Amino acid sequence: MPLSNSQYDEILREYDARQLENKRLLDTRKKKAYEEAPSLKEIDRSIAEYSVASARRLLDGEDGALKDLKAELSSLRKKRGQLLEELGYPADYFEPVYTCPDCRDTGYQNGARCHCLTQRMIDTVYTRSNLKEILASENFDTFSFEYYSDTTLNPATGMTSLETAKAAYRLCKNFAADFDRIFSNLCFYGDTGTGKTFLSNCVAKELLDTGHSVIYFTAFQLFEMLGKGIFDKERQAIASHRNIFDCDLLIIDDLGTELANSFTTSQLFLCLNERMLRKKSTIISTNLNMSQIADIYSERVLSRISSSYTIIKLFGDDIRMKKRMH
């Protein structure tokens, strides 16, 4: 589902407003510092004059003079930084303020869409992708092992619930750390309340913080989105929902809670297969075991997951219930 023109215009207005607000913030900083140390204003005036002179001489090809000007500018900036530090401010206090330093709040880098604009567009089209409030409390720093038992064993692995959770945590940390270097996918399964969604959110936060695009859907929301006027037209589905297939990370939460039918089966295979072909990572969380996935979604869906995903089974008590009881 693409952005409408009005949605795109609204986002660009947000970027314009962001630039104005950050300029206002910088002007406020300067005004306050100038009042405390008027000599700062004189230094800034000199920096501006030397910068203009440097540009002119560069155009005139005066390399020798340009070298002297650059040395003078460096000296002035150093002097300004020292004076700011004496006033209790950081040396770069007068540097331009940017919400996104990568694109300098323009939304574009080298003619291409910046990661911040890509995510903003995703958040507009798929409102559930805006995970910021959830991720403030569900991330690697807030993940707790205290709710996992160090005595309850998984007979298949011989590992305790606690050992399993620690191994899953390490896998997720490595998944995020190696994201740009190693293409991989994750599939969490296990009973309700064992931390599957929490770990997915941990990865999402890490990737959003490093400038990657992330879309989050429950399975119900994903199939509802894919089903809007598309159904069996595969090429149209891919074109209409380009962001779902192109985003850096797609999270499909609670697979199996939707009403399963031939449409959801075909669309799940399309989604997983297309993202694999594009080398785009996916995280699935589900209460279903692998045989149930095969029964509900077909053997070929299970084949895609078992061959291309790191499968992580979490087990133990319902953490949500434990938290309510505390």
Task: Please list, in sequence order, all residues whose beta carbon lies within 8 angstroms of the beta carbon of residue 124, skipping any fewer than 6 positions away.
Answer: 3, 7, 10, 11
- Residue 217: inside a domain: yes
- 170 and 298: one domain? yes
Range of the domain at 60: 5-109
- 275 and 131: one domain? yes
Assigned token pair, 194: 């064992």
Residue where a domain terminates, one of 42, 75, 109: 109
Residue where a domain terminates, one of 62, 82, 109: 109
Residue 249: in which H helix or E strand, if any? strand 249-255
- 177 and 71: one domain? no
- Residue 118: inside a domain: no
Task: Please list, in sequence order, all residues whose beta carbon lies within 8 angstroms of the beta carbon of residue 42, skipping any fewer than 6 positions away.
Answer: none
Number of domains in the chain: 2
Prediction pTM value: 0.71
- 142 and 222: one domain? yes
Q: What digits encode the pLDDT tens for the residues 12-59?
A: 999 999 999 999 999 999 999 999 999 999 998 888 887 777 667 666
Q: What digits encode the pLDDT tens for the residues 185-223?
A: 999 999 999 999 999 999 999 998 888 888 899 999 889
Q: What is the DSSP string of 250-300?
A: EEEEEETSS---HHHHHHHHHHHHHHHHTT-EEEEEES--HHHHHHHH-HH
* Cβ atoms < 10 Å from Cβ of 225: 19
Q: How far apart are CA 49 and CA 43, in angstroms?
A: 10
Q: What digits encode the pLDDT tens for the residues 270-307?
A: 999 999 999 999 999 999 999 999 999 999 999 999 99
Task: Please list, in sequence order, all residues whose beta carbon lies within 8 angstroms of the beta carbon of residue 167, skipping any fewer than 6 positions away.
Answer: 159, 312
Question: How far, CA to CA in Å, does 81 sit from each of 46, 74, 86, 190, 320?
Answer: 14, 11, 9, 56, 51
